[in-house]
Amino acid sequence: MTSEIDTISAIQQAALRELAAASDLDSLDAWRIAYLGRRGRLTGVLRGLAGMPIEERRRVGAGANALKERLEAACDERRAALEEARVTQVIQEERLDVTLPGPPLPHGRLHPITQTLRDVLRAFRDMGFQVAEGPEIEWDYYNFEALRIPADHPARDMWDTLWMDFEHDGRRQMLLRTHTSPNQIRVMEHSQPPIRVVVPGKCYRFEATDPTHEWMMTQVEGLAIDAGISMADLKGTLAEFARRIFGQERRVAFRCDYFPFVEPGMELRIDCFICRGEGCRTCGRSGWIEILGAGMVHPEIIANAGYDAEKYTGFAFGLGIERIALLRHGVDDIRYFYANDLRFLRQF
């Protein structure tokens, strides 16, 4: 009997000592298994009671059960202390110092096409042009007929048109505008000379995409109508625009071209900014890069607007913003602008 009581006392001393040394919940669980588990030291004493005399069983059993209750209570108390210490540690380590500045918020950026469009409009506004807008869903009349492109005119093949499902007298009448030139007619319908406007907007073409073509593009149409406007005014305006956008050192050249709504028509070229006119892959070995089309407004269009074609003359031009952005930033594929790849867009 004395030996079993001594065993219980030794278990108590060892258990309390090791419990105090348990530093985390894992070590506490290991302690509980070692002393109170199915094969624990104290459980072994309780299982040995069956072979003892009745009096000895009572005394040893009472002592063992009392120790079990004490150890279970001590275990619960130690567990609560360890959990509280863990929570306190987390609070201390993750405490938010409200006096520190907050993390920086990411700033959005203007899309490179939007940036280029604003630069282009700013250049023309500084030269006295106003900004106007027009509809993207357009009538056939404004997009083609009023611009001297009737239904049977071969020039319609220059624009791969996206037609709307709307017919009148057996003909489709509405479309997604193929250029911003219809706004020449709309502006002249509601204005009297002098007129100096630029019209930005999206245009749409039914064509395959490749590094230099997209089915949607952003254009800027320019129109000036006044008494005495000449080709020299057009050339001077476009040369100044090119230098404001591409640098004052840019050289410009004009080459004849055809557009049904201007006469004569021409295209504006700048010297290649890579080879400086010597000829390279970018400029097709010509030394020059075409950036826009322009010309003097056809007298029929001026007369159809109700103006005196003997008194008033004018010029018009149209340019693609994507093409300007490609040249300014040295991008070799127009599709990058609309692929929504942040790795590309963050560069601007």
Mean pLDDT score of the chain, rounded to an integer?
85
Burial of 124 from C-beta contacts in 10 A (0-12 / 13-18 / 19+): buried
Q: What is the pLDDT of residues 304-342, one digit of tens each?
A: 989 999 999 999 999 999 989 988 888 888 889 998 898
* Max mean pLDDT range (3-7, 115-119, 162-166): 115-119
DSSP state letters, 14-77? HHHHHHHH--SHHHHHHHHHHHHSTT-HHHHHHHGGGGS-HHHHHHHHHHHHHHHHHHHHHHHH
Strand partners, 314: 225
Q: What is the pLDDT of residues 105-138, one digit of tens each?
A: 878 889 999 999 999 999 999 999 999 999 999 9
**Better-scored residue on pLDDT, 104 or 171:** 104
Question: Virtual CA dihedral for 18, 22, 25, 27, nearest 10 degrees?
Answer: -60
The whole-number pLDDT of residue 87 equals: 85
Q: What is the largest CA-CA distance in the chain?
A: 136
DSSP code at position 145: G
The whole-number pLDDT of residue 314 equals: 94
**Better-scored residue on pLDDT, 232 or 213:** 232
Return the axis-axis angle of helices 25-36 and 2-21, rounded to nearest 10°. 170
The whole-number pLDDT of residue 195 equals: 94
Range list of H helices, 94-177: 112-126, 140-143
For 94, the 3-state DSSP assignment is coil
Does a cis peptide bond (omega within 30 degrees of 0) precede residue 299?
no
The whole-number pLDDT of residue 237 equals: 95
Q: What percent of the chain has pLDDT over 70?
A: 92
| pLDDT for residue 172 is more than 70 | no
The whole-number pLDDT of residue 315 equals: 95
User: What's the rounded Cα separation, in Å, for the pair 317 and 253?
Assistant: 15
Q: How confident is the model at residue 2 (pLDDT cuts 50, 70, 90)?
A: very low
**Better-scored residue on pLDDT, 201 or 94:** 201
Q: What is the pLDDT of residues 56-82, one digit of tens each?
A: 767 776 777 787 788 788 888 888 888
Which residue carries 């275990």 as its tokens? Answer: 75
11 conformational bin, left if phi > 0, alpha if psi -120 to 50, beta if neither: alpha
What's the whole-number mean pLDDT along residues 239-268? Answer: 89
φ, ψ of residue 332 in degrees (nearest 5): -105, 5
Question: Catalytic site residues?
Answer: 159, 179, 205, 219, 262, 316
Strand partners, 253: 269
pTM assigned to the model: 0.66
What is the homologous superfamily of the domain 112-345 according to CATH? Bira Bifunctional Protein; Domain 2 (3.30.930.10)
Q: Are strands 252-257 and 262-271 parallel, antiparallel or unpaired?
A: antiparallel
User: What's the rounded Cα separation, in Å, for the pair 268 and 284?
Assistant: 16
Asked whether 164 and 184 are in contact (CB, 8 A), the reply is no
| pLDDT for residue 44 is more than 90 | no
| pLDDT for residue 169 is more than 70 | no
Radius of gyration of the chain (CA): 43
The whole-number pLDDT of residue 321 equals: 93
Q: What is the pLDDT of residues 9-28, one digit of tens each?
A: 777 788 788 878 888 888 88
